[in-house]
Amino acid sequence: MPHINKTKVRVIYADTDQMGVVYHSNYLKYFEIGRTELLRELGMSYKKIEEYGILFPVKEAFVDYRVSIKYDDLIVIHTQVSELKNVSIKLKYEIKNEDESIIYSSGYTLHPFIDRNGKIVRPNDDIYNILLKAK
């Protein structure tokens, strides 16, 4: 069974448009929060991975907007590894309300593993094994 991180976030006013609805690009920010917290929960922060010289740029992102998120909503970002390959990782997200009865949005991000020179690489065994245990 895949490991799912659940991170709660309260929507702030700065994340919304004039109508009090979360601006579309902020969903990707919420995905990043979920991704960061998943790694932390697995035992290795983004910062630590970068210290190993491995970076995870976003190559591809998809968001399915289902129900508007509004100012002051408490959302729960569900994040899990959906694919792990030697040189990339794909993460799946769902943003739900607090009691998880509404799915506001879902989506994914795809990340190649690269070194500081931009070359695609396989992460070292420590990093790879941490990611593998989430699969």
Q: Which residues contact 121 (CB under 8 A, 6 or more apart)?
A: 54, 87, 113, 114, 115
Q: Annotated catalytic residue: which of 17, 64, 72, 126?
A: 17
Pull the structure tokens for residue 75.
Answer: 């959302």
Which segments of 11-65 are extended strands (E)?
60-65
- Catalytic (active site) residue 17: yes
Q: Which residue has the tokens 């998880």?
A: 100
> CA 19 to CA 40: how far, in whole Å?
34
> CA 91 to CA 108: how far, in whole Å?
5
Catalytic residue numbers, as ranges: 17
